[in-house]
Amino acid sequence: MPELPETETMARDLHREIAGRTIERVAVHRPDVLREVDAKELARRTRGVTILRAWRRAKLVVLDLSSADRIVVQPRFTGALLLDHGALAESERRFSTLEFALGDGLTLHYRDIRRLGTVTLMAPVRWADYESALGMEPLDPSFCDSYLPALLRGSSQAVKKFLMDQRRVAGIGNIYANEALWGARIDPSRTARTLQPDETRALHAALQNVLAEAVSARGTSFRDYRDPTGERGGFAAHLAVYGRGGESCSRCGARLVETHAIDGRSTVLCAWCQR
């Protein structure tokens, strides 16, 4: 967390509010979130620079700058990019790790309670190298139903672990891997290459459906995820399995099983529906 739907929500909101604005001042309160740049260099390379675009890649929020540098934010567990027009709650402000003053009283904070997320400033060559290691976007038109089977055929991983590998498919984490596999009626522990053509088609459709629905709901909030205005995402009410271990499957009524056998992460499934 946050995954594709949450970072997509962040990026869209930020683009509407900050694209075209100039960074007037930079204040770093917790430099341990910085990567590949220190506080002094971050300020030097971003002060007076215009933000051209905010967008998402995988689970990252990317700010394109007029200098050709990019600010790359990986929120991980408790990170959030919050817009502050002067009324940000003190409960949020005290976890601000850095802030960009953008004029007209608007400040962009990177808030991170556990400080496990990162903020990196990347030059074009560095970004190109970094981005090339990421897999295809599952909501991109080029992610057609013939693309996924080709990837799955070469993998001996559990299909759930495969889906969460950012080098294979970008942006999917534990929440949406659980949900998509339930939607496709596939056991998360199945070896990826054992999936049959009808199963890969079902998984492709389930992935795209659950991600699109979660984006429309502005993501999933359990504890810490907030959009840039500080609001919670609304998709938690629509989750079929994640966070529901021990409850009844909404499809068949069987008891949902929760296990940590796959890569140590919480996996929730219906042993009756998912094969």
Q: Which two tokens stand for residue 36?
A: 């590949």
DSSP 219-268: -B-SSS---TTSPPPBGGGG-SSTT-TTSB-TTT-PBPEEE-TTTTS-EE
Report whether 204 contacts 145 (CB < 8 A). Answer: yes
Report the distance separating Cα 179 and Cα 172, nearest Å: 11
92 is catalytic: no
12 is catalytic: no
Helices and strands (H, E) in the chain, number of each type? 8, 11
pLDDT digits (tens, 9 = 90+) for 225-237: 999 999 999 999 9
Out of 45, 57, 59, 111, pick the active-site residue: 59
pLDDT digits (tens, 9 = 90+) for 13-45: 999 999 999 999 999 999 999 999 999 999 999
Report the distance separating Cα 22 and Cα 135, nearest Å: 32
3 is catalytic: yes
Average model confidence (pLDDT) across the chain: 96
Other Cβ atoms within 10 Å of 156 Cβ, number: 9
2 is catalytic: yes
